[in-house]
Structure 1
């Protein structure tokens, strides 16, 4: 089995979105304390449940990103883009209703929107010649 790297620029962009997702998942899963500190989150008291939640989310990102890379199918890229689009929408809801208007939230909104746009644009054919 060979490693497949996309030939077209459009699929390379979608591939990069999946690779970034997998890399972020790897960091979040194996360094949850660092990830929580980066996002301004702190565990409370003796409760360490936040680490388990972070590792779980990191594992999901890692698995989803790797599945998109290994399978390299339009519908997998569409699912990845749709998931990030919904995450970006949820962040907008949080910005509007939770008084979460911070620089970090706006930056993460831009990142999530880009991670949604790249695979969606490829899978929906916006880059077709």
Structure 2
């Protein structure tokens, strides 16, 4: 009886299917997870591209930044720290820029929120239809 049980191949297909299906499910779930990670990376990349484009084509938040010129010769190298730190902070409806720049709330609102009016706060406005 024991020899007959040892030579029996009745459950071999079930065991093989269990092993193969485990590997198959692991591979499929890995592909799905990797695809979702690539989707998230692409969405973040496009958001950064859109933000950088909007910031580059908009007027600067620090109004003195447009007229700051460490050199008058086009193409001349700019010395490190020639501009100084242009840092702008905005909280509770008040904006302040360092290095002699004045804060322009309308320009900040256009860069931060897109093409909207100044709402005098630093919260995002709800999206309208087709935005």
Fold conserved between structures, TM > 0.5? no
Pair member with larger Rg: 2
More strand by share: 2
Larger RCO, structure (CA 8 Å, separation 6 or more): 1
More helix by share: 1
TM-score, normalising length from structure 1?
0.28
